[in-house]
Amino acid sequence: MQRLSVVLHTAVAWQTVNELACGDSGIVHGAKPPSVEEEEPPDDFVCPITTEVMSDPVMAADGHSYERTAIERWLATKSTSPLTGGELDHTCIFPNHSLRRMIREWQKAQ
């Protein structure tokens, strides 16, 4: 119920700002009401080691993507998957350009 109250107050405040800015037309071209809370990132954008949105995602031999610096630190002392615990076939990592592009597009839309 309290969340609904916050949403309603935000909507009323936005309508007031909109009316002040536009007069009788009530329309600010291209304006959007502020979001009540920031959108959570998709799970695939979050490094399972750091639990933060990745900026330089790479893929490891387990098929999962990780933040480059985090998986490099992991692989410096281990040869297992951080997610499954299984032994990795190799410790090479490869840039995940597609995922990086999707993360950047999502960040721009925020």
Per-residue pLDDT tens for 48-83?
999 999 999 999 999 999 999 999 999 999 999 999
The confidence score (pLDDT) of residue 21 equals 45
> Is residue 38 predicted with pLDDT exceeding 60?
yes
Residues of the chain with CATH 3.30.40.10: 43-109
> Is residue 31 predicted with pLDDT exceeding 80?
no
The confidence score (pLDDT) of residue 13 equals 42
The CATH number for 43-109, chosen from 3.40.190.10, 2.40.110.10, 3.30.40.10, 3.40.50.720, is 3.30.40.10
Q: For residue 49, give the nearest of 107, 93, 109, 101 by alpha carbon.
A: 93
Instruction: Count the neighbouring beta carbons within 10 Å of the beta carbon of residue 28.
Output: 14
> Is residue 25 predicted with pLDDT exceeding 50?
no
Residues 6+ positions from 30 with CB-CB distance below 8 Å: none
